[in-house]
A and B are shown apart, each in its own frame.
Chain A
Amino acid sequence: MDTTAHNLIDDVWNALKEVTDPELDEPLTALGFVREVRCRQNSVQVTLALPTYWCAPNFAYLMMEDLREAIRRLPWVRDIQITLRDHESADALNQAIDRDVSFQHAFADATDDLAPLRRAFAEKAFYARQKRWLDAIQAATHTSAKDWTPGRVKDVEEWALAHPSVAPLWRRYQASAVRQGVDLLSPDAPVVVDGQGRPIMPDVWERHWRYLSLITLNMDANAHLCRGLFGARYDPGRPRPSIPGPLAPKQATD
């Protein structure tokens, strides 16, 4: 293995590509939220920033936990430090991730672990990917999804993989199905299913389609807002805010 710092840094960035914002289902690296990676021998330091000071700390915890786990999978890494900056719960979150403390132990008023939250986000990502794949088929075939009868994997997979505008979205949909525990690999598995793998029947197809539309619209609008806020917050031309930084000089009377 090449151990020059430069290649190690690339190695880390590569690993981080897999980590998504759970609400937006987009890689943190593509969103620009990962600000910096530093490596020294077997130690990795990652700096994370979010669109607002108020982003929900449980969402932040999920992201930081996923970042840590992605880096842990690199065989050469010994120490990991994930630092969230400019956030109301930064200290508590940074400590919890550093010491491998669960969310409900780090935050006194948390009543449960984050597994249900993780599942809820995973299911939304699954539906969003289903919709984006169906949209790509509509565009490629110039047909309307309203006129389709949802088929099985064997009916669509070969066709999907042969169309460059559809293939990557099919793969993404399949990947989220695996995470969801839904079978989208067997030839006889139905392709348009709910989050538990139950096929969507023709009588609820219209309703299902509207629900998928809402899920993706919400995600897109939210992503637009988050990117915009992030851009405004870290815009180099932003007027100087009135925020006392952690290193602001203390008044003599303090």
Chain B
Amino acid sequence: MYKTDDGDEIFVVDGHVALWDGSVANQKNRHGAEFIECFYDYHRNLSPESWIWPHDKFLKYDEDTFIRDVFEMGYVDVAIFQPVGLVEFYKEPFGNVAKNYQLAQKYPGRFIGNGYFDPRDGEAGLERLEEWAAQYHLQGVKLYTAEWHGDSKGYRLSDPWAERYLAKCLQLGIRNIHVHKGPTIKPLNMDAFDVSDIDAAASNFPDLNFIVEHVGLPRLEAFCWIATQEPNVYAGLAVANAFIHTRPRYFAQIISELLYWLDEDRILFGSDYALWHPKWLIDEFMAFELPDDIAQETGVTLTRDIKKKILGLNAARLYNIDVPTHQAKLQKDAISQRLRQAG
């Protein structure tokens, strides 16, 4: 919960968090080392100086650190795990659905634990998705289309097997498909960041929600175009958020373009923790005002009501969270008690 100076209470859903294990002990090969090193470069590149973690802590951090950072310092009421397995690079999955679920059990109401699938796992993967859906009560999945799988170095949502998995999601009641267009390697002859497959998937599955993480960056223009066509396409702000510190003007332009091309109901906050800490992101976002010239050019505004939607209400709608009831429930939990004690 974020409290404004004038006493307004803002419900915060962090749409993108992780409890990863990138430790040397868990790395399977050089790729595993390079993956977490690349994350660390993102972290160092866009974080304010005082928020930069030591290298070793960044590779693997414990549950208590997570709870304190995200919920106690970071204003977050509910956090959504968006795990990626990366099993070709790590011995235990980098983002671990079972481990996430265990932590969620300790803090009822604080987490939504999403799963993931890889369409290249074929029939076996479909069965696992069914098991996970039942075991972990999945409402969403995180898809990383750049994931390596044997000789294959990526997939597209328009692949026939991907469509079968999406149909399975629909059947299992997994409504929220978070798509991360990483630096995919395949199809090799094409633009690796191309987002056009999301267009096809969103048209074919109008009852699923497609949350495009990182607002499709670095293909923002293509993403905006698709989102104007498809009402079930959403913008996940992870990464784009972080520009607010080093390049506030880019952030202003990005958020105003999103408000212009999509609308205020389809933009979701996400810190991408532990890449970036929600506290500074939210502090800077709440203090942020669109520069006049940018507001004038796009004709949009970024009011407190719009910020409330972005910070929590939009995600709450997608995940069927009734905000007043949920807030009342969280008020009694251990985290809220500790926060009250700390004043």
Contacts and interface: CB of A to CB of B under 8 A. Distances in A.
Interface of A: 23, 51-59, 88-89, 103-104, 107-114, 116-117, 120, 210-211, 213-215, 217-218, 220-222, 224-225, 228-229, 231-233, 235, 238-244
Contact of B30 (A57, A228, A233, A243): A243
Contacts of B298: 210
A221 B188 contact: no
Contacts of B224: 214
Nearest 4 CB-CB pairings of A with B:
A56-B192, A228-B45, A110-B188, A239-B55
B186 interface: yes
B100 interface: no
A221 B189 contact: no
5 contacts: A56-B183, A58-B192, A88-B31, A109-B153, A109-B187
A224 B250 contact: yes
Nearest to B27: A242
A55 B41 CA distance: 14
Contacts of A104: 188-189
Interface of B: 24, 27, 30-31, 33-35, 37-38, 40-42, 44-46, 54-55, 59, 146, 151-153, 182-193, 217-221, 224, 240, 243, 246-247, 250, 253-254, 257, 260-261, 297-298
A110 B218 contact: no
Nearest to A146: B297
B247 A224 contact: yes
Nearest to B224: A214
Nearest to A53: B34
A139 to B, nearest CB: 12
A241 B37 contact: yes
A231 B30 contact: no
Given A217-B257, A218-B221, A224-B246, A56 B37 contact: no
Contacts of A113: 189
A109 B30 contact: no
Nearest to A243: B33
A225 B37 contact: no
A108 B254 CA distance: 38
A225 B219 CA distance: 13
A74 to B, nearest CB: 30
Nearest to B187: A111
B189 A117 contact: yes
A189 B151 CA distance: 50
A241 B183 contact: no
B34 A218 contact: no
B243 A221 contact: yes
A225 B38 CA distance: 12
B190 A57 contact: no
Contacts of B31: 88
Given A224-B247, A242-B24, A54 B38 contact: yes
Contacts of A56: 183-185, 192-193
A107 B54 CA distance: 38
Given A214-B257, A217-B254, A232 B41 contact: yes
Contacts of A229: 38, 41-42, 45
Contacts of B254: 217, 221
Contacts of B257: 210, 213-214, 217
A55 to B, nearest CB: 6
B290 to A, nearest CB: 14
Contacts of B250: 217, 220-221, 224
A222 B217 contact: yes
Nearest to A108: B151
B189 A110 contact: yes
A23 B191 CA distance: 10
B55 A52 contact: no
